[in-house]
Amino acid sequence: MKKSPLQKARAAYQPKLPIVLTGALKAVEGKPTQSVANQAEIKQLFPNTYGLPELHFEKNTSPAPGHAINVGVILSGGQAPGGHNVISGLFDGIKKIHRDSRLFGFLMGPGGLVDHKYIELTAAIIDEYRNTGGFDIIGSGRTKLETKEQFDKGLEILKELNIKAVVIIGGDDSNTNAAVLAEYYKSIGAGVQVIGCPKTIDGDLKNECIETSFGFDTATKVYSEVIGNIQRDCNSAKKYWHFIKLMGRSASHIALECALQTQPNVCIISEEVEAKNMTLQDVVNYIADIVAARAADGNNFGTVLIPEGLIEFIPAIKKLIAELNNVLATDEAAKVAPADLEDFIKAHISADNAATLASLPANVARQLMLDRDPHGNVQVSLIETEKLLSEMVGNRLAAMKAEGKYVGKFSALHHFFGYEGRCADPSNFDADYCYALGFNAACLINAGVTGYMSSIRNLVKPSVQWTAGGIPITMMMNIEHRNGADKPVIQKALVKLDGAPFLKFAAHRDQWAQGTCYIYPGPIQYFGPAEVCDQPSLTLLNEHKGK
């Protein structure tokens, strides 16, 4: 594979492992845990893996000899920078336990386990991918692992390859799968451990014990660089409003982090829109008022950050989606021919929801009605919210002009940043964090546990001071209504409106709206002083300051 000069230099980067993971270690058990909600139901569904204690690793003075072990690894869901380092950390971790340990990668996501598609990840392959972005080492996919047939089919190949543990690198849905798989294999005495690793650029897989998901740091730095470049452009030409949609299926962590990094004129936070019970028109009016106020100062330009998931948080649309999901999950709907599905849906939803549906542009309504990913999520990345909002803002400004409330010119440009950042080479933070997550997963396997997520904490400190351990996945679960039924799932972490990152944004946003206070973060730096290269996200820093 031909490499760029930066790739060559970057390949030599040695991720900084937390000191606690560098020598012999022992697992120390904490108190038994409970799920975040619905304790009785989750306990009943996970009788073998519920209530396990948290674990943390400490140095050990009398290490036990390690045994060779075969491990499988799966990359699941959307790409996130650092996935290759989780795998290289895992590889180095199991090799440290015993040099004859072997790592197998299942291809194209959880489907590879079920379909028995895999490769052995040798040292030569791993070395090609250290510190690189992407998931191309084995590919990723969104197959949902949920049926006994899938689990049993997977077990056939695990037995054939003598694999004793599977590491699933994924977001909330994929780690839910990991918990279900762990429970099933334990219940039948399969002798296969399952360990999860917290991945997603969306940043919504986090809680008290998982400080951040990997990939968020790099992706938001890439988006912030480009937003900064756009801001410099618009402050130079002074003639465009840029409507920028940012990935993050549900929560607005990405938009909030980018706002903290770049200080745009407007940033919408979906969780606030929901809390204030705002309509789409309320959001439009809010933006139009800022455009008009800037125009009054002679500033006919600006930036608007829009979280990808906004549409789902507008209460009326959220209600509509919930009913659509229920209707789509019925046996009756399953029998309807695709061409007749829209009419079927319209005939089966309430009058209120039908009115909301009719108020939306046809392409948005279609997306909400028909497109779902395998986990039942609306594919919000396909909805052009940035264009929808700018069109509505344009209409609102025209009405304000007619009333004499707006004097200015409004010319909008549109951007969607998502795929640009998901496969970037990991920042030093993500390179170190991911390597530690993978290495730590090997330590959890060696400790003999199953149904745990790899947990590396103390992340605002230099990486050598990070702590390491494992969190029972059932601890993060609650019951939610998905695809027409109540299911145990990992609770998504939304932006907290009383949390330090949002409060910091809220305290400054009026000033950023009227003034032009842009920050231009510039590109990720891999070599240079620590204050330039090793800074964690502002979300993480503010959350820690707020404690």
Active site residues: 202
Closest contact distance (angstroms) between CB of 457 and ligand FBP is 21
Q: Tell me the window of 45-53, 98-106, 111-119, 377-385 that interacts with ligand FBP (CB under 6 A).
A: 377-385
Task: Find out whether 458 and 466 touch, Cβ atoms under 8 Å.
Answer: yes
> What CA–CA distance (Å, rounded) separates 136 from 473?
27
Structure tokens of 393?
A: 């803002």
> What CA–CA distance (Å, rounded) separates 418 from 245?
8
Closest contact distance (angstroms) between CB of 377 and ligand FBP is 8
Q: Of how many residues is the chain composed?
A: 547
Closest contact distance (angstroms) between CB of 202 and ligand FBP is 5
Q: How many residues bind ligand FBP (CB under 6 A)?
A: 15
Closer by beta carbon to ligand FBP, 258 or else 349 = 258
Residue 256 binding ligand FBP, by CB under 6 A: no
Closest contact distance (angstroms) between CB of 531 and ligand FBP is 29
> What CA–CA distance (Å, rounded) separates 113 from 97?
24
> What CA–CA distance (Å, rounded) separates 381 from 378?
9
Closer by beta carbon to ligand FBP, 142 or else 396 = 142
Structure tokens of 288?
A: 């139009």
Q: Tell me the HSE value of 349 on the side-chain side, using a 13 A CA sphere.
A: 25
Cβ neighbours for 217, distance < 8 A, ≥ 6 positions apart: 81, 427, 429, 430, 433, 536, 537, 540
Question: In the block, which residue shows the tokens 């206070």?
Answer: 517
> What CA–CA distance (Å, rounded) separates 128 from 3?
10
Residue 171 binding ligand FBP, by CB under 6 A: yes
Closest contact distance (angstroms) between CB of 359 and ligand FBP is 24
Closest contact distance (angstroms) between CB of 437 and ligand FBP is 15
Q: Tell me the window of 49-57, 60-68, 375-383, 442-450 that interacts with ligand FBP (CB under 6 A).
A: 375-383
Closest contact distance (angstroms) between CB of 419 and ligand FBP is 7
Closest contact distance (angstroms) between CB of 210 and ligand FBP is 14
Closer by beta carbon to ligand FBP, 140 or else 516 = 140
Task: Find out whether 418 and 247 touch, Cβ atoms under 8 Å.
Answer: yes
Among 249, 294, 396, 492, binds ligand FBP (CB under 6 A): 249
Among 15, 111, 112, 248, binds ligand FBP (CB under 6 A): 248
Residue 247 binding ligand FBP, by CB under 6 A: yes
Q: If you write DSSP's letter for every residue of 88-137 in order, what string do you get?
A: HHHHHHHHHH-TT-EEEEETTSHHHHHTT-EEE--HHHHHHHTT--SSTT
> What CA–CA distance (Å, rounded) separates 113 from 107?
8
Residue 77 binding ligand FBP, by CB under 6 A: yes
Closer by beta carbon to ligand FBP, 25 or else 453 = 453
> What CA–CA distance (Å, rounded) separates 452 from 535?
28
Structure tokens of 382?
A: 């396909």
Strands (E), 183-257: 193-198, 241-246
In the chain, what is the straight-line distance between the N-terminal and C-terminal CA atoms, in Å? 46
The interface with ligand FBP within residues 182-211 (CB under 6 A) comprises 200-202
Residue 469 binding ligand FBP, by CB under 6 A: no
Closer by beta carbon to ligand FBP, 308 or else 425 = 308
Task: Find out whether 104 and 73 touch, Cβ atoms under 8 Å.
Answer: yes
Closer by beta carbon to ligand FBP, 52 or else 180 = 180
Closer by beta carbon to ligand FBP, 27 or else 495 = 495
Residue 78 binding ligand FBP, by CB under 6 A: yes
Residue 381 binding ligand FBP, by CB under 6 A: yes
Closer by beta carbon to ligand FBP, 132 or else 381 = 381
Among 271, 308, 323, 384, binds ligand FBP (CB under 6 A): 308
Summarize as ranges the residues that interact with ligand FBP (CB under 6 A).
Answer: 77-78, 80, 171, 200-202, 247-249, 308, 379-381, 422
